[in-house]
Structure 1
């Protein structure tokens, strides 16, 4: 079994045990509130205790419903998803949604504890709520975008990406930021909104990367770019099992008074360090030979 899948199942087993404990507590509170015991008289005489019990019952009931939904969704996800496709993003997304719902439930429970009717309270502060919504618009947009990222397959924990001028490995996805760890160890916080408004390069979604070779060729070499591109591409033939020869291309980077700076690049399967090294040597030698032949001619 996939290690990540095992970790998720282990955590879910703990949550199921907690679910049973909370359910037992809920039954106990229901008995105190509705049943007939030696505490019933004291509870009925105190409005504060009644309100507190009602708030606790509501809090636990709503929390259990959220937990049950969470357990069911994750169970369905793990059953329907292949081991190698299980993403930590999905679990993070479910956790974040559960957290948002539980916070709202807690606020309502606090209102009930103080005998405040939630609907009437919300109606009375409609104008204030509208003002708060306007002030927190960017924050809410960040949260929505964060949830979209969590449930998408485009960005995952551990992916190496470039956002704007920042390059790093994704370490966490929060409701506000994408947390990157730079190649030199620094932590970079990228607002979720920026992910949807900037070009994002995900290096981990491709099993290949570009090998780039820059060279400066003097003008006396009688340069014919198309001919040189074909010549260099043929030099990649011995590495065709690991190098995508069809993707090779030659471009001019800079024109100098007496020379031309060119870039030859080609895609190669990731992890082929030895092949990449040998291919670079072959191309560099081919450029030297080509330039020398043109100079002699």
Structure 2
């Protein structure tokens, strides 16, 4: 019982923070969806933006909780920079993963094609033509006319020429 007596202030502030997080997530979701409808952005990209905003809110909330419970900001900076250094070294060692993630971010914001479009990848050794079924941070998933599913790395999309054929499907709302 002394725990609740000793940490009443921190518990109250943490409770307020949880309520604030829930409100921020709902408000940000509604704002992004409203913006997507007015700007006619396809729903798949909208859901990804919402996920990234929720991730950012969660990270900021975790930092706030750590500060509320008495960890010094200097210690947080040291821990985060140490983790970032280890992750950075690991990512440089795996350049292809970093290259795919960077390509995925570029594809996300430039979106030259979308799910449902048919594309032809001009590769002299292994030309591929198929319909885009999914776009992720690391690769795109294509379905060929023969029904074969092809996973194609994002970084290779920037190294090859691509022909884009517009979607023969109606744009529909994507929910995950």
Deviation at 1:68, TM superposition (A): 4.1
CA distance in 2, matches of 1:118, 1:140: 32
The answer for the alignment partner of 1:75 in structure 2 is 37
Q: How does 1:134-283 map to 2 (within 5 A)?
A: 134-136=89-91, 139=97, 141-152=99-110, 154-163=112-121, 164=123, 165=126, 166-202=128-164, 204-205=165-166
CA distance 1:77–1:59, shift in 2 (3 Å): same
The answer for the alignment partner of 1:97 in structure 2 is 49
Give 1:107's match in structure 2, choosing from 36, 59, 73. 59
CA distance in 2, matches of 1:48, 1:197: 53
Using the TM superposition, name which of 135-144 and 103-112 deviates more: 135-144
CA distance 1:168–1:75, shift in 2 (3 Å): closer
CA distance in 1, matches of 2:72, 2:34: 29
Deviation at 1:161, TM superposition (A): 1.8
Unmatched runs of 5 consecutive residues or more in structure 1: 1-41, 79-86, 206-297
CA distance in 2, matches of 1:180, 1:100: 25
Q: RMSD of aligned C-alpha atoms?
A: 3.2
CA distance 1:43–1:74, shift in 2 (3 Å): farther
Give 1:52's match in structure 2, choosing from 4, 7, 14. 14
Contact 2:33 2:46 in 1 (8 A): no
**1:28-55 Cα deviation digits (max 9, x unpaired):** xxxxxxxxxxxxxx79963563253143
CA distance in 2, matches of 1:171, 1:118: 47
1:128 corresponds to 2:86: no
Deviation at 1:194, TM superposition (A): 1.5
Contact 1:51 1:112 in 2 (8 A): no
**1:63-96 Cα deviation digits (max 9, x unpaired):** 2442243034213213xxxxxxxx63xx322321
Unmatched runs of 5 consecutive residues or more in structure 2: 167-176
CA distance in 2, matches of 1:141, 1:101: 23
CA distance 1:116–1:197, shift in 2 (3 Å): farther
CA distance in 2, matches of 1:127, 1:47: 31
CA distance 1:105–1:134, shift in 2 (3 Å): farther
CA distance in 2, matches of 1:152, 1:130: 29
Please give the TM-score of this superposition, normalised by the length of structure 1. 0.42
CA distance in 2, matches of 1:43, 1:94: 45
Deviation at 1:98, TM superposition (A): 1.9
Give the structure with higher Rg (CA): 1
Deviation at 1:141, TM superposition (A): 4.7
